[in-house]
C-alpha cells in the first residue's frame, strides 16, 4: 500500500467508536488490509487461526464491524490510491511512474 492516505487512516479510526473493526469498501470489495482493528478482535482472530481459517474477512462476522461504503471512502481518498496493489512487477513499475508525477 505505497500510497496509503493518512486522512483515510484517520477517518477510519474516527469511525471506530463502538466498533471492533472498521473496514472500507473499494470497487465493491472489502479492503481488510486497510482496516482498523481494536484489540477486542484478538480473541476472534485466535479462534479463526485455531480453526486454520486464515481469511482476514472471516473476522468481520465475529466482531462488531463497521463497513465504510465506497461513497464514504471517496470523501477521504477520492481516487482510491490507498488500495493500489503491487502484486506484479508491472504494477510496481506503474506505481513508480505515478509516484514520480
pLDDT band at residue 59 using 50, 70 and 90 as cut-offs: very high
Average pLDDT, integer, range 21-36: 96
Sequence ranges of the domains in the chain: 6-100
Closest CA relative to residue 73, chosen from 25, 19, 15: 25
pLDDT single digits (tens) 60-74: 999 999 999 999 999
First vs last C-alpha separation in the chain? 17
Residue 88 gets which letter from DSSP? S
Indicate if the pLDDT at residue 101 is higher than 70. Answer: no
Question: 6-100 maps to which CATH number?
Answer: 3.90.550.10
**Residue 83 vs residues 31, 36, 59, 70: alpha-carbon distances, Å:** 8, 14, 20, 12
CA distance 1 to 61: 25
Amino acid at each position: 500500500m505505497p500510497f496509503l492516505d493518512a486522512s483515510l487512516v484517520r477517518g477510519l479510526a474516527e469511525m471506530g467508536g463502538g466498533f471492533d473493526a472498521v473496514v472500507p469498501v473499494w470497487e465493491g470489495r472489502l479492503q481488510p488490509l486497510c482496516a482498523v482493528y481494536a484489540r477486542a478482535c484478538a480473541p476472534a482472530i485466535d479462534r479463526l487461526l485455531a480453526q486454520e481459517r486464515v481469511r482476514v474477512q472471516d473476522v468481520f462476522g465475529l466482531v462488531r464491524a463497521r463497513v465504510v461504503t465506497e461513497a464514504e471512502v471517496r470523501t477521504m481518498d477520492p481516487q482510491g490510491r490507498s488500495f493500489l496493489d503491487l502484486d506484479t512487477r508491472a504494477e510496481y513499475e506503474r506505481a513508480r511512474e505515478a509516484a514520480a508525477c
